[in-house]
A and B are shown apart, each in its own frame.
Chain A
Amino acid sequence: MNSTYLWYATRASGIVALILLTLTMVLGLTTTSRARARNWPGFAQQEIHRRISIMAMVFLAIHVVTSILDTYVHIGWLAVVVPFSSLYSRFWVGLGTIALDLMVAVFVSSLLRAHLKPGTWRGIHWVAYASWPIALAHTFGLGTDSREHWVIALGALCVLSVGLASVWRIRATVKRRATLSAPTPQVVPLTRRVSTSSPRSQ
């Protein structure tokens, strides 16, 4: 295949994947309980979040495959999973690999969610939040299109939307924690264990 077409495909699918990933983040961050209006279809938002994340994975796959097939610069199949093993632009491609690994982890764990402990799935999902800034760094670090005005504007928009969604989420969580802890003031904390002779210590 013509290297130029592969190169365009890599860049285009990369940008689309970034946009879709940003959308996924925003939809995921703004899912909280009781903080939304009665008439907002929460389950629909969650479903859209899932489907957009799948679309992001599809474009990510196109991005990765085309970048490997394009032999103009050498990246190699190993670099798909092992960070910093690419010959071309080792660091920035490596970041992309890390982001990919995290996203694959979320994807697989979500498919197997019913078989995992609730804490495990949640933990993996949380760590995967990191994939977004890493993907962003990869995009702008590699530099192919990152000096174009429209790309910079797009990047700024992504940062702004995730930033706002994060602030919103943090505030909602803080508010919720405050209400839940209110009923039990100045009482012996439930989780502190003080015993003279504990069965478990024997």
Chain B
Amino acid sequence: MTQSATPAPPSSKVHHLLGHPSDLKGHLESHGPLNVALGRTASWQDGLAASLEASGLTGRGGGGFPASIKLALARSGGAGGTVVVNAMEGEPASDKDKLLLTRAPHLVLDGAQYVASMCRAHRIVVCIPIGRDGVASAVSHAMAERTSNRYARVREELVRPPDRFIAGEESTLTNWIDSGRSLPMFRPEKGTPLRLGSGAALVHNVETLAHLALIARHGPGPFRARGISEEPGSCLVTISGAMAHPGVVEVDRGTPLWDIAALSQLAEPVQALLVGGYGGTWVGPEHFGTPYASISLRTIGATAGVGVIVVLGESSCGLAESARIARYLADQSAGQCGPCVYGLPAIASDLARLTRGQGDEHVVARLHRRLREVNGRGACRHPDGAVSMVRSAMAVFARDMEAHGRGEPCPYWRRLTTLRFPRPIGL
């Protein structure tokens, strides 16, 4: 399903991720040849780097970091690195990466080949969690097609890390590939490049790589033709919640949140939107018109995060759903850092108590204090996401909080959740 917020100029080819054939032959017919034969030359590499910078592509895995800067850093790390294709998608509410890999595996793998050539990497490792065998077999099949057609330059491998929320975090994934332990690594300097063996680890989200492959072939023009000038391009968003047809849509960056949510048939009036995933931010009706772009979302205290928008209908209890998410996030802690291991469950318990109408008079103050204290004190950003979600919930559902806090919970908190979790979460 595609949607353009701005009409594309008639002369440029419109840039779509989905909607092309998924087999190798069809893929080549749609997009043309891979063209990395020239990849060894510095001029080709510089040319691609310039294209990426001109395109303004930012990471689509949650970080939103400009791809050209990330790659420039990677290139300065020398040859012999590993391209890590991050298809982990630990976010339960997100399906875009699974879909992209099933519908356009060659686009993603081509993106990895371009990065490998640009950064002189020696291998490509595609990471798909255990249990997602449908996606894994689609990728295996595509890899086999590429091998038998002698299509891939750099060796492509498939690995299956554990399926946990944080397993797709950059350092966690790299650590797993290196040592078999799916645990985040503490990096005192936030920007320290990751290493894998003797070379750099170049971790990229599958959607970022797919965009990169299209930009490498067609130039920055078609990418820039979509989206807004500050944040160009299209992106995939998984919409779910109170709607008849949840799914993945490809939208222009900068499309208002409400327009994205309305792409599916909404089942009932909307109370709030959860933007950016379970570690993202709740947004109230007064901000539904905010464009879906980091630059605009920042002004309301939100981030685009991973491409997820969850619609909360009127007949749900925002507090209850937030309490369930908080419990889920607490359970998904890697278990390494005290503030996360002890703080998140404490926050989740308080929130659950409040939801049931059993909170004591200090529960809100305790929540605020713990949110403040837990924030930023883990090795990774997992606790920060939980804090952001809870804080925004306390703001957006302030009236509910008051009522539940008085011991008068709404009747909706017991209803079955409209959110997706790998296993049922009790309150």
Contact = CB atoms under 8 A, between A and B. Distances in A.
A190 interface: yes
A114 B332 CA distance: 34
A197 B158 contact: yes
B180 interface: yes
Contact of A199 (B136, B177, B182, B342): B177
Given A183-B341, A188-B164, A190-B181, A196 B159 contact: yes
A183 B333 contact: yes
B335 interface: yes
Nearest to B342: A179
Nearest to A181: B335
A192 B179 CA distance: 11
Contacts of B334: 190
B130 A194 contact: yes
B163 A188 contact: yes
Nearest to B176: A193
B125 interface: yes
A197 B143 CA distance: 12
B331 A183 contact: yes
Contacts of A197: 157-159
Interface string A160-202: 0000000000000000000111011101111111111111001
B319 interface: no
Nearest to B180: A193
B345 interface: yes
B181 to A, nearest CB: 5
Nearest to A187: B164
Contacts of B123: 199
B158 to A, nearest CB: 5
Given A183-B341, A188-B130, A190-B182, A195 B161 contact: yes
Interface in B154-178: 157-164, 176-177
Contacts of B344: 183
Given A190-B181, A191-B181, A194-B130, A199 B159 contact: yes
Nearest to B159: A195
Contacts, number: 57
Contacts of B181: 190-191
Tell me which of A180, A199, A202 has the highest count of chain B C-beta atoms within 10 A of its own C-beta: A199
B183 interface: yes
Contact of B180 (A179, A180, A191, A196): A191
B330 interface: yes
B331 A184 contact: yes
Contacts of A181: 335
Nearest to A186: B423
Contact of A183 (B160, B163, B345): B345
A180 B160 contact: no
Contacts of B330: 183
A123 to B, nearest CB: 19
A196 B341 contact: no
Contacts of A189: 162
Contacts of A188: 130, 162-164
Nearest to A202: B157
Given A195-B159, A199-B125, A199-B159, A190 B341 contact: no
A183 B344 CA distance: 10
A95 to B, nearest CB: 40
Interface in B316-357: 330-335, 341-342, 344-345
A180 B335 contact: yes
B135 to A, nearest CB: 13
A198 B176 CA distance: 11
Interface string B65-82: 000000000000000001
A198 B127 CA distance: 10
Interface string B203-237: 00000000000000000000000000000000000
Interface in A132-180: 179-180
A196 B140 CA distance: 10
Nearest to A185: B331
Interface in B294-336: 330-335
Contacts of B162: 188-190, 192
A196 B335 contact: no
A197 B124 CA distance: 12
Contacts of B82: 199
Contact of B159 (A179, A192, A198): A198
A185 B332 CA distance: 10
Contacts of A198: 159
A133 B177 CA distance: 43
Given A183-B333, A188-B130, A190-B334, A195 B160 contact: yes
Given A188-B163, A196-B136, A196-B158, 16 more contacts: A183-B330, A183-B335, A183-B345, A188-B164, A189-B162, A190-B181, A190-B182, A193-B180, A195-B159, A195-B160, A197-B158, A197-B159, A198-B159, A199-B125, A199-B157, A199-B177
Interface of A: 179-181, 183-185, 187-199, 202
10 contacts: A183-B333, A183-B341, A188-B164, A190-B181, A190-B334, A191-B181, A193-B180, A194-B130, A194-B160, A197-B159
Q: Sorted from nearest, which 10 A-B pairs have the closest CB atoms?
A: A193-B180, A188-B162, A195-B159, A195-B160, A190-B182, A183-B333, A197-B157, A191-B181, A197-B158, A183-B335
